Structure 1
Amino acid sequence: MGFELSAEEIEVLQAELARLREEHRDLDSAIDALERLGPINQIQIQRLKKRKLYLRDRISHLEDQLTPDIIA
């Protein structure tokens, strides 16, 4: 007995999901570029990796909200 999202709420969640996925991809590129520069930027790389993990969790949460519950 869950609740259903309105079309507007679904649209907002989908837009947020797209933005987060894009940021996640951008972080991949930034991390790759910094890793090529060498060990000097390890602290910055670790911060970007933490942000990337946060984004992955947030993306997962939004995907769960958009996927209807199916009772098996």
Structure 2
Amino acid sequence: MQTGHLAALEAKHALLDSQILAESRRPSPDQEALATLKKRKLQIKQEMTAQ
């Protein structure tokens, strides 16, 4: 069961990573959106390491 949960977290982490990259490459990146995405990515990373 944990393996499926970890895989889901890894998928969310990768999705957030691509969203952060896309936002940061825009001509005028939304700093607030970037901060929110990075915070969510960090929370997921912490949950993954707690597994």
Residue 21 of structure 2 is matched in structure 1 by: 32
* Structure 2: tracts of 5 or more residues without a match: none
Q: Over alpha carbons, which structure has the higher Rg?
A: 1
Output the TM-score relative to the length of structure 1: 0.66
One-letter amino acid of the structure 1 residue matched with residue 18 of structure 2? S
SS of 1:50's equivalent?
helix
**Count of residue pairs the alignment pairs up:** 51
RCO higher in 1 or 2 (8 Å CA, sep ≥ 6)?
2
Q: Which amino acid aligns with 1:48?
A: L
What is the TM-score with the length of structure 2 in the denominator? 0.91
Residue 44 of structure 1: CA displacement? 0.5
- After TM superposition, the runs of 4+ consecutive aligned structure 1 residues lying more than 6 A away are none
Deviation at 1:31, TM superposition (A): 0.3
Aligned equivalents of 2:4 and 2:35: distance in 1?
27
- What is the aligned-residue RMSD (CA, Å)? 1.0
